[in-house]
Amino acid sequence: MRYWLMKSEPGDVSIDNLAEMPNQTVAWYGVRNYQARNFMRNQMSIDDGVMFYHSNCKQPGITGIAKVSALAYPDATQFNPKNKYFDPKATQEQPRWFNVDVQLVKKIVLIPLDELRKHPELTAMRTLQRGNRLSITPLDPSEWNFITKRLVKN
């Protein structure tokens, strides 16, 4: 089992949107970075743990716990010319972009980015590194355990 931090802009899909979706599941669409795509396509497994993170908002931070509920499959948005994630080089025979499905485990009280930065146990966390803009990053099991046991409030 692996652990991931996955960022979503709340204006696109928020933790509240996810909580209202059928089966509380969403396709993690629109990723257009090869490294993040490769994490989904090559490394994610069903039931991997996910920290659902709101980014590009007034108060970024972890807003929920989720899990990977479907293995990688072609991201349909790449084929739709009217979609902002359209990729003219992608074909049905050779898709370039993939997504996984993520299912909500539980919504949590926001753990703000500033709070994450306060803890020496999290200094190696990729999301906290200068210049890191990846929307999907692996979490070390020790980071996952620290956050879930020490920072998550019900």
pLDDT grade, residue 132 (50/70/90)? confident
Residue 131: what pLDDT? 85
Q: What is the mean pLDDT of residues 123-134?
A: 91
Q: What CATH number does the domain containing 124 carry?
A: 3.10.590.10
54 in a structural domain: yes
Provide the pLDDT for residue 154: 66
Residue range 108-135: average pLDDT?
94
Which residue range forms the structural domain that includes residue 103? 3-146
Q: How many domains does the chain have?
A: 1
Whether pLDDT at 153 is above 90:
no
For residue 4, the cross-strand partners are 50, 138
CA dihedral sign of residues 130, 132, 136, 142: negative
| The model's pTM | 0.95
Three-state DSSP string of 78-134: HHCCCCCCCCCCCCCCCCCCEEEEEEEEEEEEEEEHHHHHCCHHHCCCHHHCCCCCC
The answer to whether residue 127 sits within a structural domain is yes
